[in-house]
């Protein structure tokens, strides 16, 4: 957040008072007959919501509030004031009497003001100007009470005056208070004649409790010229260091910006920031601080920083950082002025003859830095060979030795790597300053691959199987897969080509579906109870295992079956067959009618009392001859509160979430099906009484 950048902020509440021109100027030459009460001014800022003129009320420290007005008179006064502005500022009346959100506003105490009394020439901001209805000539604020004698300190004694501006529709208000004895004269002291105190102004900061600033700018409106200054807490820093910067701006401004150097600012658009020197900052660096006014003009100040280099210590060795017994090595420190080694030497160069870690600290005016280097003990080489042990016919192979400084192969080659085209054993001798070592590798010919595919080749309809090829280096299936295994779910012939890096071979697998189709007939498929039904199995293939479920609880494992249905109803008979781990099902509906037609009864009680007294606590339907039932219960707003899904289910007066419903009338819809597929619909109301 910008420290002091009030003009770029929007209050969080409805408005914030920023300044009061307590003692306005009156010129008897330019403004004959004009009174101070017609020329006082208050500056405030609107919050996040626009405010209508009719929604504002002002409680002056002195005088009554006449209300705000916007008419041809206020328009003429605004035009005259704009004509007197010589800077880039502008005065606007609120469009349609509505002050925009975030607007900076100047409240003038009368449309009968004298436009020449308090100058607007230096206005650089855009202000919305509003006027109190003419009629008050006496002052709205109390001027200084220190008397006519000019003194360096106040003498009038504490005398507080309070101004309140309220947005009446929301009862939101801002309140400020000043002390009359603290008002300054044109000399910056206290007391004096009336003309010597003209221009006394009080400024307030926000948000929170306002902080007061007493000033006297003479006979001008409460607008301030923009002044900029920049300071630092030190004039010299080391490279990469940080300096605290402070910028101050007086007057109206929209934003601020720090710039300069190759480093970074912690808050480049804040008045308080810190600057960290960049890699290109050495010597003198100029930093600028600029304030951009509301009209786009920039006012800047500069300061100069001196960037001193930091020590950057490093160590270089005169040879490899390994020491064999009897050898020595020179170490040289760089990047500092003075040095101190871990060996207690203070010279830039030291000679070491033992392995270990050596460190040095170097310093200059900006501090010190350290560096270290590890000298490893020299050891005889440990040679190894990489490149592979297999060679395809007609190809070549690169063998590479490592672990030493120089090499000699049994082929006579003195290089670390050799290219071979024949199989056999290859040996290399490696040498370094501490000794030598030998390594060997045997390269054998590679035969073409032999490929097989494993996996279950019989799959159930809708199932899958995994096919796996013999090991190789790369794979390509006719499905496009390049993995060693593939999962397939469709019957067919599957091919794979396997490569071992030298040659490739193919194999195939024929995947077949297990053929299975469950089917049966029943005779008869309907009749009166008791009803014997003969089930004839027509499935294929016939060599399977069987499982019958007749829908009434009866079962069988015979190929064909007989079941007698003793009760009426609709039953689903199911045959499940299993072949080679695969299953299939077939179903048939059997309708059994009662020996005598049963009457259908559906009675829904229209009242019940779920109060826990054991009497009529639940809604219970009375039914007969019903095979299925669905019932929904709704409140008077059409919201479903309960559902019943069978004839013997009861409602206890609770809604779908388990909460007791309130007393009142509820409505239901009911759908039922009789034992012989006849459907019934009912609707009505139910009263809940506790």
Specify whether 468 is located in the same domain as 428: no
For residue 298, what pLDDT is reported? 78
From the CA atom positions of the chain, what is the Rg in Å?
51
Residue-wise pLDDT for 471-491, tens only, equals 888 999 999 999 999 999 888
Find the helix or strand (DSSP H, E) in which 72 lies: helix 72-84
Measuring CA to CA, which residue among 512, 508, 476 is closest to residue 492?
512
Specify whether 57 is located in the same domain as 113: yes
Chain-centre distance for alpha carbon 91: 42
End-to-end C-alpha distance for the chain, whole angstroms? 63
Report the share of the chain in percent with pLDDT over 90.
Answer: 61
Specify whether 25 is located in the same domain as 105: yes
For residue 519, what pLDDT is reported? 93
132 contacts 73 by C-beta, under 8 angstroms = no
Specify whether 287 is located in the same domain as 167: no
Judged against a pLDDT cut of 80, whether residue 227 lies above it is answered with no
Contacts of 355 (CB under 8 A, 6+ apart): 322, 323, 375, 376, 377, 378
Specify whether 12 is located in the same domain as 112: yes
For residue 461, what pLDDT is reported? 80
For residue 675, what pLDDT is reported? 67
For residue 676, what pLDDT is reported? 65
16 contacts 174 by C-beta, under 8 angstroms = yes
| Domain assignment of residue 247, yes or no | yes
Specify whether 184 is located in the same domain as 129: yes
Judged against a pLDDT cut of 80, whether residue 445 lies above it is answered with yes
| Paired tokens of 543 | 């060599």
DSSP state of 80: H
| Domain assignment of residue 221, yes or no | no
Measuring CA to CA, which residue among 448, 455, 450 is closest to residue 494?
455
For residue 129, what pLDDT is reported? 97
Q: What mean pLDDT do residues 168-190 have?
A: 95
Measuring CA to CA, which residue among 176, 183, 141 is closest to residue 158?
183
Strands 397-402 and 453-454: unpaired
Strands 212-216 and 200-204: antiparallel
Residue-wise pLDDT for 247-288, tens only, equals 988 666 778 999 999 999 999 999 999 999 998 888 899 999
Q: What mean pLDDT do residues 209-221 have?
A: 85
Q: What is the pTM of this model?
A: 0.41
Measuring CA to CA, which residue among 288, 231, 225 is closest to residue 253?
225
For residue 225, what pLDDT is reported? 55
Say which residue, 85 or 624, is predicted with more confidence.
85
For residue 598, what pLDDT is reported? 56
Instruction: Give the neighbor-by-neighbor strand order of the sheet with 356-364.
Output: 322-323, 367-377, 356-364, 338-341
For residue 295, what pLDDT is reported? 64
Q: How far apart are CA 623 and CA 604, in angstroms?
A: 9
| Domain assignment of residue 148, yes or no | yes
Residue-wise pLDDT for 94-150, tens only, equals 999 999 999 999 999 999 999 999 998 878 788 999 999 999 999 999 999 999 999
Indicate the range of 7-21, 68-82, 144-158, 348-362 predicted with least confidence.
Answer: 7-21
For residue 122, what pLDDT is reported? 78
**513, 528, 545: which is the final residue of a domain?**
513
Q: What is the CATH number of the domain that holds 260?
A: 2.60.40.1080
Measuring CA to CA, which residue among 633, 653, 631 is closest to residue 642?
633
Q: What is the CATH number of the domain that holds 328?
A: 2.60.40.10
- Using the Cα atoms of residue 399, residue 405, residue 408 and residue 414 in order, give the sign of their dihedral: positive
| Paired tokens of 441 | 């590798």
Burial class from Cβ neighbours inside 10 Å (0-12, 13-18, 19+) for residue 575 reads buried
For residue 6, what pLDDT is reported? 37
For residue 228, what pLDDT is reported? 79
For residue 597, what pLDDT is reported? 54
Q: What mean pLDDT do residues 325-341 have?
A: 89
| Domain assignment of residue 222, yes or no | no
592 contacts 531 by C-beta, under 8 angstroms = yes
**Residues in the chain, overall count:** 690
For residue 299, what pLDDT is reported? 80
Bridge partner residues of 545 (DSSP):
578
Q: How far apart are CA 205 and CA 190, in angstroms?
A: 23
Contacts of 540 (CB under 8 A, 6+ apart): 515, 516, 517, 519
Q: What mean pLDDT do residues 176-200 have?
A: 94
Specify whether 93 is located in the same domain as 203: yes
| Paired tokens of 379 | 């050891």
**216, 245, 279: which is the final residue of a domain?**
216
Contacts of 280 (CB under 8 A, 6+ apart): 261, 262
Judged against a pLDDT cut of 60, whether residue 159 lies above it is answered with yes
Specify whether 369 is located in the same domain as 430: no
The 10 Å Cβ neighbour count of residue 147 is 12
For residue 610, what pLDDT is reported? 93
Q: How confident is the model at residue 4 (pLDDT cuts 50, 70, 90)?
A: very low
For residue 332, what pLDDT is reported? 95
Strands 390-391 and 435-445: parallel
Measuring CA to CA, which residue among 39, 70, 38 is closest to residue 56?
70
Alpha helix segments (H runs only) across 310-370 = none
Specify whether 145 is located in the same domain as 235: no
Specify whether 130 is located in the same domain as 56: yes
Q: How far apart are CA 113 and CA 132, in angstroms?
A: 10
Judged against a pLDDT cut of 50, whether residue 7 lies above it is answered with no
| Domain assignment of residue 609, yes or no | yes
Mean pLDDT, the chain, rounded, equals 89
| Domain assignment of residue 241, yes or no | yes
For residue 647, what pLDDT is reported? 82
Specify whether 536 is located in the same domain as 421: no
| Domain assignment of residue 20, yes or no | yes
Residue-wise pLDDT for 506-549, tens only, equals 999 998 888 889 999 999 988 888 889 999 999 988 888 999 99
Domain that holds residue 508: 453-513
What's the total number of domains in the chain?
A: 7
Judged against a pLDDT cut of 60, whether residue 3 lies above it is answered with no
Bridge partner residues of 342 (DSSP):
none
Strands 555-556 and 545-549: antiparallel
**189, 216, 243: which is the final residue of a domain?**
216
Judged against a pLDDT cut of 50, whether residue 453 lies above it is answered with yes
For residue 257, what pLDDT is reported? 93
| Nearest 10 degrees: Cα torsion 462, 466, 469, 473 | 110
| Domain assignment of residue 260, yes or no | yes
Q: What mean pLDDT do residues 57-69 have?
A: 96
Residue-wise pLDDT for 374-415, tens only, equals 988 888 889 999 988 888 877 888 999 999 989 999 999 999
Q: How confident is the model at residue 209 (pLDDT cuts 50, 70, 90)?
A: low
Specify whether 667 is located in the same domain as 615: yes
Q: Kindly report the backbone phi and psi dihedral angles of residue 40, in degrees, each rounded to the nearest multiple of 5, phi listed first.
A: -75, 160
For residue 197, what pLDDT is reported? 94
């Amino acid at each position: 957040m910008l420290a002091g950048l009030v003009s770029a902020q929007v209050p969080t509440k409805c408005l914030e008072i920023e300044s009061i021109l307590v003692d306005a100027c009156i010129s008897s030459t330019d403004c004959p007959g004009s009174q101070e009460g017609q020329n006082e001014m208050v500056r405030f800022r609107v919050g996040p919501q626009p405010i209508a003129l009719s929604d504002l009320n002002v409680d002056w420290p002195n005088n009554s509030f006449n209300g705000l007005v916007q008419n041809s008179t206020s328009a003429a006064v605004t035009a005259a004031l704009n004509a007197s502005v010589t800077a880039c500022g502008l005065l606007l009346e609120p469009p349609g009497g509505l002050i925009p959100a975030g607007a900076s506003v100047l409240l003038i105490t009368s449309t009968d003001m004298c436009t020449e009394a308090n100058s607007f020439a230096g206005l650089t901001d855009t202000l919305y100007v509003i006027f109190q209805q003419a009629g008050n000539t006496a002052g709205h604020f109390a001027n200084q009470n220190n008397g006519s004698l000019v003194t360096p300190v106040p003498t009038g004694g504490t005398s507080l005056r309070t101004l309140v501006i309220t947005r009446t529709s929301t009862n939101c208000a801002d309140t400020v208070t000043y002390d009359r004895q603290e008002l300054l004269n044109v000399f910056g002291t206290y007391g004096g004649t009336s003309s010597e105190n003209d221009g006394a102004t009080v400024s307030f900061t926000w948000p929170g409790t306002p902080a007061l600033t007493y000033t006297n700018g003479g006979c001008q409106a409460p607008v301030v010229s923009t002044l900029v200054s920049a300071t630092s807490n030190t004039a010299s820093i080391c490279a990469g260091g940080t300096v605290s910067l402070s910028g101050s701006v007086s007057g109206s401004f929209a934003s601020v910006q720090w710039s300069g150097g190759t480093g970074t600012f912690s808050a480049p658009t804040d008045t308080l920031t810190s600057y960290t020197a960049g890699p290109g900052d050495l010597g003198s660096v100029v930093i600028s601080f600029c304030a951009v006014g509301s009209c786009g003009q920039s006012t800047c100040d500069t300061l100069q920083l001196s960037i001193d280099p930091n020590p950057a210590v490093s160590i270089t060795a005169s040879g490899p950082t390994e020491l064999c017994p009897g050898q020595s090595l020179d170490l040289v420190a760089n990047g500092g002025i003075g040095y101190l080694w871990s060996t207690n030497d203070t010279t830039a160069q030291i000679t070491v003859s033992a392995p270990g870690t050596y460190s040095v600290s170097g310093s200059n005016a900006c501090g010190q830095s350290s560096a270290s280097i590890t000298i490893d003990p020299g050891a005889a080489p440990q040679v190894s060979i990489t490149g592979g042990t297999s060679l395809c016919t007609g190809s070549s192979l690169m063998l590479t030795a490592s672990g030493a400084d120089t090499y000699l192969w049994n082929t006579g080659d003195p290089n670390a790597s050799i290219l071979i085209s024949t199989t056999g054993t290859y040996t290399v001798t490696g040498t370094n300053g501490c000794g030598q070592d030998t390594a060997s590798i045997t390269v054998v010919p590679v035969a073409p691959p032999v490929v097989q595919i494993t996996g279950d080749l019989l799959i159930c309809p809708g199932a899958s199987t995994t096919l796996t090829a013999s090991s190789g280096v790369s794979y390509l299936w006719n499905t496009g897969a390049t993995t060693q295994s593939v999962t397939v779910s469709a019957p067919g012939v599957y091919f794979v080509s396997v490569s071992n890096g030298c040659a490739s071979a193919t194999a195939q697998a024929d995947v077949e579906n297990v053929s299975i189709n469950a089917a049966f007939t029943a005779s008869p498929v309907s009749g009166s109870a008791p009803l014997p039904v003969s089930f004839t199995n027509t499935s294929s293939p016939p060599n399977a295992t069987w499982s019958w479920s007749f829908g009434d609880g009866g079962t069988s494992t015979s190929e064909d079956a007989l079941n007698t249905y003793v009760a009426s109803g609709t039953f689903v008979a199911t045959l499940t067959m299993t072949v080679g781990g695969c299953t299939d099902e077939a179903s048939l509906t059997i309708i059994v009618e009662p020996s005598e037609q049963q009457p259908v009864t559906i009675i829904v009680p229209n009242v019940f009392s779920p109060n826990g007294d054991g009497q009529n606590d639940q809604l219970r339907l009375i039914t007969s001859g019903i095979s299925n039932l669905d019932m929904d219960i709704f409140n008077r707003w059409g919201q479903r509160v309960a559902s019943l899904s069978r004839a013997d289910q009861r409602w206890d007066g609770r809604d779908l979430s388990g909460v007791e419903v309130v007393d009142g009338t509820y409505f239901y819809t009911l759908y039922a099906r009789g034992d012989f597929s006849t459907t019934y619909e009912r609707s009505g109301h139910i009263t809940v009484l506790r």
